[in-house]
Every structure is written in structure tokens, then in C-alpha cells.
Amino acid sequence: MKADKIILGVLGGVAVGALLGVLFAPEKGDKTRRKIMDKSNDYADELKDKLDTLLGTITNKYEKIWQEGEALVSEGKSKFYDAKSDGEALLAEGKSKFQDAKNDMKNTNI
């Protein structure tokens, strides 16, 4: 954000300097007003271009962060479902071994 403030400050200073230079120039009022209007339009266009560039950069960064977040969520879901499947398999195996042990105990006459 500091760079943005510096850019805006420099543009503002240039605009004020140009305006003062035009105002104190020895020309007719019509020409002076026209120059002021032209310069202000030029600066407005330049500022709009810089803001559009800044907005594009912010949008690109936001989209990149969003995509990385979606990838992390997807990876996390995949790992969760893998762990869940492994846990279910271990539980089924444990139940099977428990049932086998239970059956062995029933069949054993001690």
C-alpha cells in the first residue's frame, strides 16, 4: 500500500504543478481553461490506467489464492477419505479378528 500512496502523491503533485504552471502562463482564459481541461483529462486517464492495472493485479492475486485454497481443500478431502477408508478397513479387520477369537473361545472347552 505504501507504493500506491507514493504513486498517488506524485501524480497529485505533478497535477498541481501543471495546473499552477498553466494558470500563471500569459495566455488567454479560453486557452488556459482548455489546457487545464486537457491536462486534467490526461491525468485522469493515466490514473484510471494505473488503478485498472492495480485492480488487475489484486484480482489475479485473489484468484491465485482462491485456487490454491481450493487445491488445499481438495487435497485435505482426499486425505480424509483415504484415512477414513483405511480406518474402516482396520475396523472391519479388527471386528473379524474379534469374531474369530470369540468363536475360538466358544469352541474351546476349558
Q: What is the pTM of this model?
A: 0.47
Alpha-helical regions (H) of the chain? 2-23, 29-107
Tell me the backbone φ, ψ of residue 25, rounded to 5 degrees. Answer: -75, 145
Across the chain, what does the average pLDDT equal? 85
Dihedral sign computed on CA atoms, order 22, 24, 28, 30: positive
The 10 Å CB-count burial string (b at 16+, else e) for 15-33 is: beebeeebeeeeeeeeeee
- 42 domain-assigned: yes
Convert the pLDDT of each residue in 2-48 to its tens digit.
Answer: 767 777 777 778 777 777 776 676 667 777 778 778 888 888 898 89
Q: What is the extent of the structural domain holding 35?
A: 2-79
Q: What is the tally of structural domains in the chain?
A: 1
What CA–CA distance (Å, rounded) separates 34 from 27?
11
- 89 domain-assigned: no
- 59 domain-assigned: yes
More reliable by pLDDT, 60 or 40: 60
63 Cβ neighbours under 8 A, 6+ residues apart: none
State the pLDDT at residue 76: 94
More reliable by pLDDT, 59 or 28: 59
State the pLDDT at residue 25: 67
- 11 domain-assigned: yes
